[in-house]
Chain A
């Protein structure tokens, strides 16, 4: 399979890359330069230079408040930086609206899953598709103009749902799914548009441990079928297990980069995490036992945030 070869080559080429923050990559898909965003005088994100290698899985880690999600928001057009520019697949995307970023092939998911609760699973999936002429107001009025494309979309959606084992739920409201199933749905929905780069914000947060393994499998599958993955995660075991390259952020800056094994032994990284996970050896399997605790924290945090968001729609 040529796809496999491409992935293999991309992974191998990373061996030669220096382990310094902001190092250039042999085949970068996303290149960010001088991206800075401050909230009330505090620099939430202050990235001098960062490159994301094509065809591999890159993990973005760092303690809470390191600016990972804000960096995601900036890259995908959900927030505007104070300064900075970035290029995705040869296209500069600074200041481009979120929807056009997604159209360019950079699709994201959210830390708090955004399943469209009062729509069915299948409708959620169809919404992820692109090039549906019926999404234009005037074309929508004449069904024959969009019905053929709708059939293609439905077939593709069903195939993806089968892959993610959600096909039995296709007519259920997305709001009735469990937290883990919603994560799967959101990921599957993002794939409807055949993105070049998938950005996953904490794909494991709040997911039932029984689903963890299949989620990991789906993410490596993505890479193996040619999609580049960038994800934010707190679960160090997962990071160590599936990522090809790890970028560490602290206080808005990139403090370390490298393959997972090396980075997690790095003194700077351990320092960055001090206070968050005291005496733990990062990436140690012992963390798996604590994984539940971390997840519970993330869940509690997510719930608190969801509550406030509900209050202020």
Chain B
């Protein structure tokens, strides 16, 4: 087995657009769950809406900035539609409504009735909406190597996308860091602990939960845009498993920490690519086919999630002491 090649693959994937997209989505989910205690089971829905918002508006002729705004706007509207009716209800209703709503978005997106706009289940090919983003790149069209990683400068899975993506992640982390340490973040943490107590102190809990839902959803949408800029918009590629992976990433890194989601995403994709590559190299192809190796990878993800909760519920960066206190 070629370990050098394997490690290069791991490095490429860890720093790649998928890891960036999931990091952004997990940062959003962290605002929902880690900070406010909202159980959003439909983060993939926010990502998908962001992706559709960006791609459809670009295809319709919108400039890059407007396409980004449309993506963000779609997430804001989605969050309001979900939050306005459900955030007054018991917490588990939000979980059911968000997971249902994300599925509705996916089913409607892939429906034959909307083939004209969303491309139905075949989706929208990358080339139909990537041009404005790639044209905005100051880099020359070329292939550059950095260490062992060689990538195109502008096309699809490119240096340009990585630069923009990691800048977004950095900004998002700074933003969350500032908010967590502000009185606003304090109110959210109070809501996570006991929303009735916070209400009794004169805070409009409903409004804060709505703000958190919208804000986290916007990061989800940005993640969705990065996700599809590397490939294509396809409803089924942003389904329920994506939400579940995002949860795994958040819990792996550590909920309620600023850098947890980013670290979680890096490790998640690094480990997944490593395991797959290792199995492919170590097990002959006639014993396990390529698809089967991939499936084993996903089985391991599920088991990791279970083991995490059992053995290290605070994640890598979380504070064990904080978690040990049973919120009464």
Q: Do chains A and B touch in the complex (CB under 8 A)?
A: yes
Which of chain A's residues have a CB closer than 8 A to the CB of B204? 97, 99-100
Some 14 contacts from A to B, beta carbons below 8 A apart, are A110-B196, A117-B325, A119-B189, A127-B190, A127-B203, A128-B201, A134-B182, A135-B184, A139-B184, A141-B182, A150-B183, A173-B322, A175-B327, A186-B197
Q: Does A277 contact B (CB under 8 A)?
A: no
Give how many A-B residue pairs fall within 8 Å (CB-CB): 122
Is A123 within 8 A of B182, CB to CB?
no
Is B325 within 8 A of A127, CB to CB?
no
Contact with B along A132-147 (1 / 0, CB 8 A): 1011110111010010
Which of chain A's residues have a CB closer than 8 A to the CB of B328? 112, 115, 117, 175, 306, 310
Looking at the assembled complex, report how far the CB atom of A263 sits from the nearest CB atom of chain B, in whole angstroms.
Answer: 29
Complex alpha-carbon distance, A126 and B178, angstroms: 18
Q: Does A148 contact B (CB under 8 A)?
A: no
Partner of B199, one of A78, A146, A150, A189: A78
Q: Does A176 contact B (CB under 8 A)?
A: yes
Name A176's closest neighbour in chain B (CB-CB): B325
Is B184 within 8 A of A127, CB to CB?
no
Looking at the assembled complex, report how far the CB atom of A101 sits from the nearest CB atom of chain B, in whole angstroms.
Answer: 8
Partner of A127, one of B196, B198, B321, B323: B198
Partner of A114, one of B90, B196, B206: B196
Name B325's closest neighbour in chain A (CB-CB): A175
From A118, A134, A139, residue with most partner B Cβ within 10 Å? A118
From B186, B189, B192, residue with most partner A Cβ within 10 Å? B186
Q: Does B91 contact A (CB under 8 A)?
A: yes
Which of chain B's residues have a CB closer than 8 A to the CB of A140? 178-179, 182-185
Which of chain B's residues have a CB closer than 8 A to the CB of A234? none
Is B183 within 8 A of A99, CB to CB?
no
Partner of A126, one of B179, B186, B197, B211: B186
Is B322 within 8 A of A193, CB to CB?
no
Complex alpha-carbon distance, A85 and B4, angstroms: 76
Partner of B201, one of A112, A139, A173, A190: A190
Is B184 within 8 A of A116, CB to CB?
no
Using a CB–CB distance below 8 Å, which chain B residues touch chain A? 90-92, 175, 178-179, 182-187, 189-190, 192-194, 196-206, 211, 215, 321-323, 325-328
Complex alpha-carbon distance, A118 and B194, angstroms: 10
Is A118 within 8 A of B179, CB to CB?
no
Complex alpha-carbon distance, A192 and B182, angstroms: 18
> Would A119 and B200 be within 8 Å (CB), given that A136-B184, A173-B322 are in contact?
no
Looking at the assembled complex, report how far the CB atom of A146 sits from the nearest CB atom of chain B, in whole angstroms.
Answer: 6
Which of chain B's residues have a CB closer than 8 A to the CB of A192? 201
Which of chain A's residues have a CB closer than 8 A to the CB of B190? 116, 119, 127
Interface residues on chain A, number (Cβ under 8 Å): 47
Which of chain A's residues have a CB closer than 8 A to the CB of B200? 76, 78, 98, 102, 107-110, 114, 190
Is B184 within 8 A of A137, CB to CB?
yes
Looking at the assembled complex, report how far the CB atom of A278 sits from the nearest CB atom of chain B, in whole angstroms.
Answer: 33
Which of chain B's residues have a CB closer than 8 A to the CB of A173? 321-322, 325
Q: Does A103 contact B (CB under 8 A)?
A: yes
Name A309's closest neighbour in chain B (CB-CB): B328
Complex alpha-carbon distance, A73 and B302, angstroms: 43
Which of chain A's residues have a CB closer than 8 A to the CB of B196? 78, 98, 110, 114
Name A108's closest neighbour in chain B (CB-CB): B200
> Would A118 and B184 be within 8 Å (CB), given that A127-B190, A127-B201 are in contact?
no
| Given A114-B197, A130-B202, A143-B178, 10 further pairs, Cβ under 8 A | A78-B199, A99-B205, A112-B328, A114-B194, A116-B189, A117-B193, A117-B327, A118-B325, A118-B327, A135-B186
Which of chain A's residues have a CB closer than 8 A to the CB of B197? 110, 114-116, 186
Which of chain A's residues have a CB closer than 8 A to the CB of B206? 97
Which of chain A's residues have a CB closer than 8 A to the CB of B91? 313
Is B211 within 8 A of A137, CB to CB?
yes
Is A134 within 8 A of B203, CB to CB?
no
Looking at the assembled complex, report how far the CB atom of B173 sits from the nearest CB atom of chain A, in whole angstroms.
Answer: 14
Is B182 within 8 A of A99, CB to CB?
no
Which of chain B's residues have a CB closer than 8 A to the CB of A127? 186-187, 190, 198, 201, 203
Looking at the assembled complex, report how far the CB atom of B182 sits from the nearest CB atom of chain A, in whole angstroms.
Answer: 4
Looking at the assembled complex, report how far the CB atom of B170 sits from the nearest CB atom of chain A, in whole angstroms.
Answer: 16
Complex alpha-carbon distance, A186 and B205, angstroms: 18
Complex alpha-carbon distance, A193 and B178, angstroms: 25
Which of chain A's residues have a CB closer than 8 A to the CB of B321? 173
Partner of B183, one of A108, A112, A146, A175: A146
